[in-house]
């Protein structure tokens, strides 16, 4: 990816940029960032040493978090593109929340390598998008995920 590209999370409005998984304003968060790569989406993340299941292997809750924010971020990228916009063009993107999350843990995920989540986005309703994700550690697919992401409802607004 070009250094010029922006992640969708760089573009969320400040009020919606506090997510522990992907909020740029959450200092202690994971700072997951999701980009277009052609017509797929990509989030790369290297777990912290403490994020282990047992020593040497990544904790499933971190993989679930990666798939979760990659899902909402991918859906936001896709709806933003459908609306004629790309990250960096100065238009605030839509903000999604997770309706459901499914993860199949295929193989133990080794620590110490960057994880790459690759997503495919499908519109199933104008406000509901499905993101299918594979998570790779080097060349090994260690987990598969599916997120149904929905445009943030008013019940989330304070």
SS3 (DSSP) at 34: strand
Q: Does 62 bind a second copy (CB under 8 A)?
A: yes
Nearer to a second copy, 5 or 152 (CB): 152
Terminal alpha carbon distance of the chain: 36
Binding test (CB under 8 A) with a second copy, winner from 85, 86, 97, 141: 97
Let me know: does 98 contact 68? Beta carbons within 8 Å.
yes
Q: Rule CB under 8 A: which of 20-59 touch a second copy?
A: 20-21, 23, 26-29, 50-57, 59
Q: Residues 89, 92, 96, 102: what is their CA dihedral angle, to the nearest 10 degrees?
A: 20
Rounded Cα–Cα distance for residues 31 and 46 (Å): 11
Binding test (CB under 8 A) with a second copy, winner from 81, 85, 105, 128: 105
Interface ranges with a second copy (CB under 8 A): 15-16, 18-21, 23, 26-29, 50-57, 59-62, 64-65, 68-69, 97-105, 107-108, 155-156, 158
């Amino acid at each position: 990816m070009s250094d010029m590209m922006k992640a969708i999370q760089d573009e969320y409005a400040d009020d919606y940029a506090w997510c522990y998984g992907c909020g740029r304003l959450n200092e202690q968060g994971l700072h997951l960032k999701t980009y277009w790569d052609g017509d797929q989406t990509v989030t790369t993340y290297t777990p912290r040493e403490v994020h282990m299941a047992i020593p040497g292997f990544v904790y499933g809750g971190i993989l679930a978090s990666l798939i979760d924010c990659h899902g909402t971020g991918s859906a936001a990228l896709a709806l933003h593109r459908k609306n004629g916009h790309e990250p960096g063009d100065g238009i605030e993107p839509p903000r999604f929340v997770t309706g459901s999350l499914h993860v199949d843990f295929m193989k133990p995920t080794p620590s110490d390598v960057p994880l790459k989540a690759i997503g495919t986005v499908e519109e199933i309703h104008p406000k509901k998008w499905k993101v299918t994700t594979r998570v790779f550690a080097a060349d090994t697919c260690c987990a598969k995920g599916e997120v149904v992401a929905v445009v943030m409802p008013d019940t989330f607004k304070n």
